[in-house]
Each structure stands twice: as C-alpha cells, then as structure tokens.
C-alpha cells in the first residue's frame, strides 16, 4: 500500500503564498497519478490539481494561474505551490495517490490532510 503524509499548511494573509508537500512511502513504484484535493467547511471535497505518470497536469478553474502542482522523478514527493491566496482557498488539503495493481484495477490512497487558512 501507499502511505501519504502532508505538511506545509498554516495561516496566511490574503495575497500571500504557501507551499504544501506530501511524502509517499510504500509501493510508490506503482503510482500512476497523484493529486491535491481540498474541502472547505460545509462543502464537498473538490479536486484542486492532479499530475499523471507522464507529468501531465490538470487544474481546477478556480486555481489556474495561481497554483502549481509538481512531483519528483521517483514519485515519492508531491508539491503544491499556492500563490495569490484568497479566503476562498481556505480548507483542508489532502494528498491523493492512485496506484495500478494490474490493468483495470486501481487503488486510491489519501493523506490525513493539512489545514490551510487564508485570513487577515
């Protein structure tokens, strides 16, 4: 299995920047896609950004141009650089990893989450 641990959350003023990190351990060689999700109070968990095994990235419309997702070559670390933060970005951010056991059979792993609060 894959274990994920997030770090880097905290309190930031509007317009500020924050970087999140996720360390993956276990069967990391089988990971084919990783992503960041977030959940604001009273709202559904939503996809923020994802990155494929081929390093193709995808972003939610609300964060395009402000957030950047990246990973290392070994797929053991996932990053999210967040710039121009606003209160709407407040929420718990979760690291996600999908691994392929065999063709057509995938498993999802989630981190415990890290709190990001944007407030003045």
Per-residue pLDDT tens over the stretch 62-83: 999 999 999 987 778 999 999 9
pLDDT of residue 17: 98
- 2 is written with which tokens? 């894959």
Q: Quick one: how many helices (H) and strands (E) in the chain?
A: 0, 11
- Among 96, 4, 9, 108, smallest CA distance to 48 is for 96
Backbone φ, ψ for residue 105 (5° rounding): -125, 110
Give the separation between CA 62 and CA 105, rounded to whole angstroms: 31
Q: Give pLDDT tens digits for 9-44.
A: 999 999 999 999 999 999 888 898 999 999 999 999
Backbone φ, ψ for residue 87 (5° rounding): -55, -25
- 52 is written with which tokens? 């494929």
Give the separation between CA 36 and CA 50, rounded to whole angstroms: 6
pLDDT at 47 over 90: yes
Planar angle of CA 19, 21, 25, nearest 5 degrees:
175
């Amino acid at each position: 299995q894959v274990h994920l641990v997030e770090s880097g959350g905290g309190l930031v003023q509007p317009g500020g920047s924050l970087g999140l990190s996720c360390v993956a351990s276990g069967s990391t060689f089988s990971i084919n896609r990783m992503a960041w999700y977030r959940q604001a109070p009273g709202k559904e968990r939503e996809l923020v950004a994802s990155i494929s095994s081929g390093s193709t990235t995808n972003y939610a419309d609300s964060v395009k141009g402000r957030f950047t997702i990246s990973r290392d070559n070994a797929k053991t670390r996932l990053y999210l650089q967040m710039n121009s933060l606003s209160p709407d970005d407040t929420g718990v951010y979760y690291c996600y990893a999908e691994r392929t056991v065999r063709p057509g059979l995938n498993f999802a792993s989630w981190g415990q989450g890290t709190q990001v609060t944007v407030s003045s």
